Amino acid sequence: MSGALLVAGTHSDAGKSLVTAGICRWLTRRGVSVAPFKAQNMALNSAVTRGGAEIGRAQAMQAAAAGIEPEAAMNPVLLKPSGTRHSQVVLNGKPYADADARSYQELKLGLRAPVLAALADLRSRFDVVVCEGAGSPAEINLRAGDLANMGLARAADLPVLLVGDIDRGGVFASLYGTLALLEPADQALVSGFLINKFRGDASILAPGLDQIRALTGRETLGVLPFREGLWLDVEDSLALDAPRPEAKPAAGTDTLEVAVVRLRWMSNFTDVDALASEPGVRVRFTRSASDVARADLVVLPGTKATVEDLERLRADGLDAALARRVAAGDPVLGVCGGFQMLGEQIDDEVESRAGVVAGLGLLPVRTTFAADKLLRHVAGTAFGAPATGYEIRHGRPERHGADPLIDDGSSAGEGCAAGVVLGTSWHGLLEGDAVRRAILQWVAAHRGRDWAPGDEPFAAVRERHLDVLGDLVEEHCDTDALLALLRDGAPSDLPVLAPGGAACSPS
């Protein structure tokens, strides 16, 4: 078979990323060659491909669901906010421009061709391409230059599956209103609905499904039940507001509490997913000084706005909380931007253009930002265990005391280890089973905890998670209807709802 479809959502965090991954997994298990695609992604969680391209973390996860290596074509445009007014624009995996909201609208005209070329390239090499939209297709103020939603669907003639999150309430109004706000030519491609995160009695929902079909002429092609534990590789920080699953039962007597400092421009916070997969480890995101004080381990994560987040850290008194913690002999781990903050000084003429700024002074490290971004996979040894990861950074930390955290084969080594404070520029380090467990055992020893690691590889945890997404699609969607959309495209007789939106795009 061959074909493509677009998974759109009534709003951000409706479940588009996970539904796209689930469809990829379901098709892959049927023997279909499938690839994910997101034309334009605004996300601070990103990944580096083997070819050294930076793409959205969700597309890397979706590629794993499809059993293939991620590549730049899967996310040709990535927007990474670097403060309240500016974003770095990454095109085909490499930094392309810095833009504010208004100037990006002008840039979009030049991005349309590479976006469509990337999609065409994937369609030439895979049986099916499952595209993910961005935000909502009914953001009518942005429709004229849209790259990721109906602008893409119109340009590539894609049938659209519209996802709504019933757990938030108002799902039928969201589905109907989204459709009704679209101009007629856009509505013609919206081929069906999918309801996500349903809890309760399906018979109570059934009359609503009948009415939305009568009102719109569209079938609901699936009702996915709410599932606990679908927390790995989330893309949107909105997902952090949902309750995280309870820790697995501890293998030892004690549990370990991990507090992740919730930064405003936090990036790649999925680094801590692997910690939460260990039995007896509880992970929480927080801005509470008391949480920082009592946790067994505090993680200062990556950020795309290191200087701005450092200022907010100080404004909230978390700098003093971290200093007290270190003075008491309690462990702290900084990753990428968090590592840079822990040092003595940051010289940034690239992202914040703030020049020289004092760091937290907890590691003997000085960081200088360079114009070119390091994008690469890395390997070495840490805590006597094999270590791997990837780098996404403008900052160049230089250690002038203490020890390197990682032996990466260079004369200086990577990162820094000074007493109870560890720092690294490597994302993904904690996904290594041996090094993650060694670090947690080191934490347990410092905190006097009787904690023991598990034995399940993190890669197996991720695979099981992806299988659950595939199961949800296979068991709770009208898969024959999905296959028909992929094969035949949008039905030709779908009704148009009033007001039908004013035409706002030549596509």
CATH number assigned to the domain comprising residue 211:
3.40.50.300
Q: Which of 377, 365, 374, 375 is CA-nearest to residue 431? A: 377
Cis link prior to 81 (omega < 30° from 0)? no
Q: Do 5 and 153 form a contact (C-beta atoms < 8 A)?
A: no
The CA-atom distances, in angstroms, between 416 and each of 89, 234, 354, 389, 489 are: 31, 28, 24, 16, 54
Shared domain for 198 and 330, answered yes or no, is no
CA 507 – CA 122 distance, rounded (Å)? 21
Residue 473 vs residues 17, 21, 22, 478, 501: alpha-carbon distances, Å: 13, 10, 6, 8, 32
153 and 19 together in one domain: yes
Domain membership of residue 103 (yes or no) is yes
361 and 290 within one domain = yes
309 and 227 housed in the same domain: no
Q: What pLDDT score does 422 carry?
A: 98
Kindly state whether residues 224 and 300 are assigned to the same domain. Answer: no
Please state, in angstroms and rounded to a whole number, the distance separating the CA atoms of residues 122 and 120: 5
Catalytic residue among 131, 336, 416, 477: 336
Strands 40-42 and 77-81: parallel
Closest Cα to residue 47, out of 299, 302, 278, 283? Answer: 302
Partners of 192 in beta bridges: 161
Q: Are residues 294 and 388 in the same domain?
A: yes
Residue 243, pLDDT score: 56
Looking at the fold, whether 216 and 268 belong to one and the same domain comes out as: no
Is there a single domain that holds both residue 193 and residue 335?
no
Do 114 and 89 form a contact (C-beta atoms < 8 A)?
no
> Are 268 and 175 contained in the same domain?
no
Predicted local confidence at residue 506, as pLDDT: 46
- Note whether 287 and 409 are same-domain residues: yes
> For 471-505, b where at least 16 C-beta lie within 10 A, e where not — what string?
ebbbebbebebbbbbbeebbbeebebbeebbeebe
In a domain, 461, yes or no: no
Q: CATH code at 284?
A: 3.40.50.880
Residue 239 lies in a domain: no
At position 276, the amino acid (one-letter code) is A
Of the candidates 86, 394, 427, 465, the residue annotated as catalytic is: 427
In a domain, 8, yes or no: yes
**Does residue 329 belong to any structural domain of this protein?**
yes
Q: How far apart are CA 320 and CA 496, in angstroms?
A: 59
Per the structure, the count of domains in the chain is 2
**Domain-located, residue 247:** no
Is residue 336 part of the annotated active site? The answer reads: yes
H-assigned helices in 171-201: 171-181, 184-187
Residue 81 has what pLDDT? Answer: 86
501 belongs to a structural domain:
no
Residues spanned by the domain of 75: 3-231+469-488
Please tell me what DSSP assigns to residue 407: B
In a domain, 179, yes or no: yes
* pLDDT tens digits for range 117-168: 999 999 999 999 999 999 999 999 989 999 999 999 999 999 999 999 999 9
- Spans of the chain below 70 pLDDT: 1, 231, 234-247, 502-507
Model confidence, pTM: 0.93
Q: Within this chain, do residues 204 and 311 fall inside the same structural domain, yes or no?
A: no
Query: Same domain, yes or no, for 316 and 172?
Result: no
